[in-house]
Structure 1
C-alpha cells in the first residue's frame, strides 16, 4: 500500500474509531453506577469525607492565613482538597481497579477479539471519567453550598481557574489510571495495590492535612505528583487571595500547576499506550 493510500485509509477509519469510542461512554457510565463499591469509594467518598472533617473540626473555629486575619470555615477550607481528591479517585483509582478487573475476568480478552480499537476503548473510559467526575464535582459543590453554607466563588476568573484545573486534572488522572492498571497482577489484588497509593498521595498533597504544615522533605516528594498541583489549583479557585501566603512559595503558582499537570498527562498518555494489553503478557 502506498503512503498516500495508507493516509487516505487512516483518515476514513479515524471517524469510526472516535465514533465507536464516544458510543462506549454511555455504556461505561452505566456500568460505573451499577457497581456499588465504585459509587461509594470514588463518587460519594469526597462528599462523605468533607462532612466528616466539617463535623470533627468545626468546633475549633475558622481557619485563617495568619493570626488575627479573617478566615474561612473548616468546610470551605477543605472543599478544594476534596474536589482534587475526587478527580484523582474518579480517574486513577476507578480506572486502575476497573481495567485490572476487566483483564482478570476476561472482558479485555473478549474485546481484543473484536474490531474495537484501543483508542476507542480509551475514549470510552476517559469519557466515563469526565461524566462521573463532573457529576461528582457538581454534587460536592451543591452539598457544600446547601448543607455546609459555603460561599462559592462569584468571579469569572475563579470559575475559569476551576474549569481548566478540573479538565486538565481529569484527563491526566484518567490516563494515569489506565497506565496504573497494568501494575496489579489480578483483579483481586487491584484494590490492595491501588488504594494505598491513592491514600498516601491524599495525605501528603494537602487534601487531608494543611500542606504548609508538612515537613519540607515531604512537600518535595508531594510536589513530584499531580495531586499536589490539582489541590493547589483548586485552592486558588476557591480560597480568598490571602491564603496564597500559606503556599510554599507564597503564590498559587498557576503556571506551574499547568506545567506539572501537562507533564503528567504526557507521561500518562505514553505509559498507557506502552503498557496497555488486551491480555497480560504472562497470562
Structure 2
C-alpha cells in the first residue's frame, strides 16, 4: 500500500520545511494555515494515485485481473487513506525534533500499519485480541475497504460473503468511522504539538 510511504514522505518534508523556516516565512503571507501543508499532501497523494493506477493496470494487463467490482467505494477508500496518513504525518511532524531522526520516529507507524493490516502475514495467525487490536490500526480499515471494493466481498466476516454495490458501502461504514477517528487523532496531535519554529533536538 502506498499510504504508509506517503506518510513518511509528507512528515519528512514538513520537518525539513520547518527546520528551514519556510513555514515561518509563509505564515506572514495571506495564505491560510491549511494551505501551507497542501503542497506536500497533494504531491504525495498524486504520486500514490499514479502508483496505484499503474499497479492496477499492470495486474489487469499482465495477470488478467478483473476490474474492481465497486469503483466508487475504491475511490472513497483511497481518499480516506490519503487523508488519514496525511493527518498522521502532520501530527507526527510536531514530535520530530529534526530531519535526521524523521524516519526513526515515523518507522513505528509504518511497520505497525503494515503488520496490523495483514500485509506481511495473515491476521488469522493472531489471537482474537490481537485481531481486534489490528482492526483499529490506521491502515487496516483502508485495506479492508479496498478488498471489499475490488472483490465485492465482506471481509469483516470469516466467510467473506458476496455483497452488492450498496452493501459494499454499508459493510465499510465501520472502517470509515475508524479512518475518520484517526484523522481526528492526527489533527489533534498537529494542533497540540506542531510548532512553526525549528525544534531543538
Q: Same fold (TM over 0.5)?
A: yes
Report if the CA contact (8 A) 2:88-2:186 is conserved: yes
Higher relative contact order (CA 8 A, sep 6+): 2
Alpha-carbon distance in structure 2 between the residues aligned to 1:125 and 1:242: 34
Larger relative helix fraction? 1
Instruction: Check if 1:232 corresponds to 2:144.
Output: yes
Match of 2:186 among 265, 268, 271: 268
Report if the CA contact (8 A) 1:162-1:233 is conserved: yes
Report if the CA contact (8 A) 2:14-2:40 is conserved: no
Instruction: Check if 1:87 corresponds to 2:11.
Output: no
Alpha-carbon distance in structure 2 between the residues aligned to 1:112 and 1:240: 46
Alpha-carbon distance in structure 2 between the residues aligned to 1:108 and 1:243: 43
Alpha-carbon distance in structure 1 between the residues aligned to 2:159 and 2:15: 37
Could you tell me which residue of structure 1 aligns to residue 53 of structure 2? 138
Q: TM-score, normalised by structure 1?
A: 0.60
Report if the CA contact (8 A) 2:13-2:40 is conserved: no
Unaligned runs of 5+ in 2: none
Shift of 1:217: 2.7
Superposed CA RMSD in Å reads 2.9
How has the CA–CA distance of structure 1 residues 115 and 209 changed in structure 2, closer, same or farther, with 3 Å as cutoff? same
How has the CA–CA distance of structure 1 residues 263 and 247 changed in structure 2, closer, same or farther, with 3 Å as cutoff? farther
Alpha-carbon distance in structure 1 between the residues aligned to 2:30 and 2:95: 26
Instruction: Check if 1:178 corresponds to 2:119.
Output: no
Alpha-carbon distance in structure 1 between the residues aligned to 2:181 and 2:154: 29
Shift of 1:258: 1.1
Unaligned runs of 5+ in 1: 1-84
- Pairing 1:1-283 to 2, within 5 Å after superposition: 85-90=1-6, 92-153=7-68, 155=69, 158-239=70-151, 241=153, 245-246=157-158, 253-280=171-198, 282=200
Q: TM-score, normalised by structure 2?
A: 0.82
Shift of 1:277: 2.2
Aligned residues: 195
Provide, for residues 101-142 of structure 1, a one-character-per-residue CA deviation record: whole Å limited to 9, x for no partner: 222344334434544432211333332233222212111211
Report if the CA contact (8 A) 1:103-1:187 is conserved: no
The alignment partner of 1:124 has SS state of: helix
The alignment partner of 2:34 has SS state of: helix
